[in-house]
Amino acid sequence: MITEFLHRYDGYRTARGDLAAVDYRRCSIDSRTIAPGEMFVALRGEVHDGHRYAAVAAQNASALVLEAAWDQAHGAELPADCAVIVVDDTLDFLQQLGAWHRRKFELPLIGITGSNGKTTTREMMAAVLEKKYRVFQSEGNKNNHIGLPLMLLKLDRHAEVAVLELGTNHPGEIAHLSALAGPTAAVITNIGKAHIGFFGTREAIYEEKTALFRALGAEGVLFLNLEDGFLKRYPRETHQGPVITVGLTPGCDVCGSAVAADGLGRMQFRINDTMIVQLQVPGRHNLMNGLLAAAVGMYFQVDDEAIRDALENFQPVKQRMQVEEKDGVRFINDAYNANPDSMRAAIDYLLGLEARPRIVVLGDMLELGEFSENEHRELGGYIAERAIDMVLLYGPQARFIESGIRESGGAMPVFYCQTHAEIAAHLRRIIARDTVVLLKGSRGMTMEKVLALL
């Protein structure tokens, strides 16, 4: 019952109304979608304050969770029959409630973070573990200071293992999220330049991400990607529990080696000389994602044949290296997000395909801060030296990609477009059968809209 938590929670002030029927696990932060019987937590954001919608939420909510200052000023305006819980800080309430609920379960919880590949690797791991266990995993991109506690509240007794994604865009967030989630195992995919505008250096990103490792207890298991230049230097001797090394170098506990790639760039690889896996997700970078998922499965005693079957039947996550074909034209929809490392990985994948001409449609890479201009210029230089036949750009920072291409002597045509519709119109004029088109940009650039317009 919610009262059990309130008696333990330091930020609790008071309550009114009947709390007996409140199921705290059914929690909503959106008055537009709240279902009957859900508890509404009014969060204050940079743009919207959930308290403004408390009266609307009260029509369906089993209870409202409000901050004391707002309740003192406006609480009398709410329906008299609505249960209200008053706290100092509604975000802290949500986070601590999620953490408290998670501690009710002794199941293994695998925390996963990294600059690139978090969601794909998490879903691969879940697919592998589902061969033996009932798995609870993050939904979509619910991996931040709000999404994670909402996910923790959905844990129930049916789950035998949990796989949860932890995201960050500012220092200290991974340590805080780890404290909420209580991971018993940890995976970091890699250390790249995503969100470098908030951290300043990759060294700082490394320190932020590895907070997940440091959050493990003495018996927690650490999965260490030795193919990452930063992670391979992690002082594993500081961890008292098991350390499972994963990589392409002989001597790793779980060692992979590329065998071949098909015409769509889907990798076939060998694991520990005991199994060969043919991935359905394209891109060489997915080899390590699959290897990390296999390592987790092996540790949790999923048999080799089940691991192979799970990985071979795994399909690309939406807008992450999705290959779609329209009228003989191949589109690589990798539009979910972008940073300097994932941009290069996607371009490298494109170059591995036999089809020509090759066209890249790129939007801004966001959250790079003071490094944005230079990173976009460097990406342009990277493109200039590769066999790309045409470049279409969108977004104010993307102009620096064009500058980088020209400064590096790139001779391919480059077109800057003002809208998604302009990009689509340009593509309609030039694409023909056997053309391959890469669409990629940060989430805020919504590059998938181009594909919808074709």
**Per-residue b/e over 325-359, b at no fewer than 16 CB within 10 Å?**
eeeebbbbbbbbbbbbbbbbbbbebbeebebebbb
What pTM was estimated for this model as a whole? 0.89
**Burial degree of 270 (CB within 10 A; 0-12, 13-18, 19+):** middle
**DSSP-derived 3-state class of residue 232:** helix
pLDDT of residue 18: 93
- Do 164 and 111 form a contact (C-beta atoms < 8 A)? yes
Q: What is the pLDDT of residue 264?
A: 82
pLDDT of residue 46: 85
Q: How many CA atoms lie within 13 A of 251 on its CB side?
A: 3
Residue 454: count of CB within 10 angstroms of its CB? 15
Query: What gap in Å lies between CA 280 and CA 268, rounded to an integer?
Result: 9
What is the C-alpha to C-alpha distance for residues 242 and 245, in angstroms, rounded to an integer? 10
Q: How many CA atoms lie within 13 A of 199 on its CB side?
A: 23
* Contact in structure between 79 and 88 (CB atoms under 8 Å): no
Tokens of 196: 């470098």
Q: Which amino acid is at 68?
A: A
Delineate the domains of the chain, giving CATH numbers in brackets.
2-89 (3.40.1390.10), 105-312 (3.40.1190.10), 322-453 (3.90.190.20)
Smallest CA-to-CA distance from 213 within 223, 201, 226, 199 is with 223
Sign of CA dihedral 420, 365, 390, 410: positive
The runs of H, that is alpha helices, within 34-144 are 54-57, 68-74, 90-102, 118-129
Q: E strands, 209-298, where?
A: 221-225, 243-247, 254-261, 266-271, 275-282
Confidence at residue 356, expressed as pLDDT on a 0 to 100 scale:
85
Write down the pLDDT at residue 327: 87
Token pair for 74: 């406006």
Residue 171 is given by DSSP the state T
Q: Enter the tokens of residue 414.
A: 């480059």
Please name which of 334, 281, 272, 346 lies closest in space to residue 311, comparing C-alpha atoms. Answer: 281
pLDDT mean values, one per 10 residues, the chain (454 residues): 95 95 95 96 93 95 97 93 96 98 98 94 98 96 95 97 96 98 98 92 97 96 97 95 96 94 88 94 92 98 98 91 90 94 94 90 96 97 97 97 96 96 96 94 96 92
Closest residue by Cα to residue 188 from 224, 241, 152, 238? 224
Q: What is the pLDDT of residue 307?
A: 98
